[in-house]
Amino acid sequence: MWKLWKELHLIGGLARRRSTVANTSHTLCRLFSSTVQTESEPFLSYDKDPAPAFMRDDVQQLLKSITRLELDKVFRKRSVKDNTVEYRFMTDEQLRRELLHSIEQAQQMLQMPPVVQEQKDSCRIISKDGALKSLSTSKFVFTDITYGLKNSQRSIVVRHPDGTLQEAPYEMRKRLNQIYFPLTGRSIHQPPMFEDVYLQRLLEEGKYEFVLDRACVQFEPYEKDYHQITAKVYHHVNESRSFDALRSTRHFGPFVFFLVWHKLIDDLLLDMIKQDYLRNGIELIALYSTLHGTAIDEDVKQTALQTQMPSLFEAAEKSVDELKQDELFLSIIEQFVNSQATKKVQLNLAVQAYRELAMEKLRLAQGIRRMHGES
């Protein structure tokens, strides 16, 4: 009996040892594979402060126009399904005022998150007091909880066990500010949804706006995590060409700015041509010229900067004048494609296909004009 027990004990020990080795090797493999994946992930950062360029009036005007204000998408029910419909009887004047009010409200809802430079964490040493060395093995954190101060202005310092008094690092400041003055929707610790595994799943499901909205609540625009997460979302949207998922949302402007800054606008320009958003294509080219200093005709830029009333109701067919203007836009896009684009073949084919279709529409519209006796 004793011999049998020793044999069982020996077998169990070997099994545990093998399990430990297997788990250790699996953990190491997973660790190294995760590291390799992180290093191979494409991440584009701003090489200089983008805020001065992003805050320019002409850049803001172009980004707002490219965003395309669509009231149905802005005021849609995103979380709670509501099948109720409200009908109102209005005069023409009341309808006009209601539309103007809706446009103003939609423009406020489409206010873009700022694009600023990533903030570097600098923990200034205030003093070194050797008399306090080894007084305690723990750090002491002192927080100014004066009411009415901005979180960025609040003084938070740390006394280290060696007697050094130093400004608190940013992560500690953010955590303490959230404890004393909590912001609605923000967690003290980073939510698991921003971890690579869960974030990738959300991106594959196309929940770009949800991720970006949550990032705006959880992080400040100058945080490193905010820059990395938004860059991953923008890159995935561009790779999957899911531009409509962000179009007419407050994130489309920063997304376009990101693509233009890093010269990645080919797929977006191709999408604009296919969806008959040629004016947006001209605005995109004007924005590219503004940020990178490429040559562009001044009349083209002025055309792109002309303020237009949002088209709430799309016309069934374009007029002759609009079709002629589209031909001018096509020539500008074609010139940009040949000089600056990287996907020249795809873009030129799209331009050629659009031009042939537009010529057919123009001949038809001119024929209808002649039938009605119009010149």
Task: Note the residue count of the chain.
Answer: 375
* Residue finishing a domain among 106, 137, 168: 168
Residue type, 213: D
Task: State residue 143 phi and psi, 5-degree precision.
Answer: -120, 130
Same domain, 302 and 333: yes
- Determine, yes or no, domain membership for 41: no
Same domain, 164 and 193: no
The kind and range of the H/E element at 68 are none
Structural domain harbouring 370 = 264-306+318-374
pLDDT of residue 36: 33
C-alpha span between 296 and 56 (Å, rounded) = 18
Same domain, 161 and 235: no
C-alpha span between 93 and 76 (Å, rounded) = 25
Same domain, 352 and 238: no
Same domain, 328 and 297: yes
What does pTM read for this prediction?
A: 0.81
**pLDDT tens digits along 298-347:** 777 777 777 766 666 565 677 777 888 888 899 999 999 999 899 999 99
Same domain, 68 and 159: no
**pLDDT tens digits along 79-114:** 666 667 778 899 999 989 988 898 899 889 999 999
Same domain, 277 and 368: yes
Same domain, 113 and 198: yes
Same domain, 58 and 134: no
Same domain, 107 and 252: yes
pLDDT of residue 159: 93
**Closest by CA position to 347, among listed 281, 285, 293, 266:** 266
- Determine, yes or no, domain membership for 2: no
- Determine, yes or no, domain membership for 275: yes
> What DSSP designation does 164 have?
E
Is pLDDT of 141 > 80?
yes
- Determine, yes or no, domain membership for 80: no
Count of domains for the chain = 3
Given the structure tokens 């023409």, which residue do they identify? 92
- Determine, yes or no, domain membership for 29: no
- Determine, yes or no, domain membership for 335: yes
Same domain, 231 and 363: no
- Determine, yes or no, domain membership for 28: no
**CB-CB contact of 156 with 168 (8 Å):** yes
Same domain, 62 and 157: no
Residue type, 91: T
C-alpha span between 337 and 348 (Å, rounded) = 7
**DSSP-based three-state secondary structure for 127:** strand
Angle in degrees, CA 364, 283, 230, rounded to 5: 125
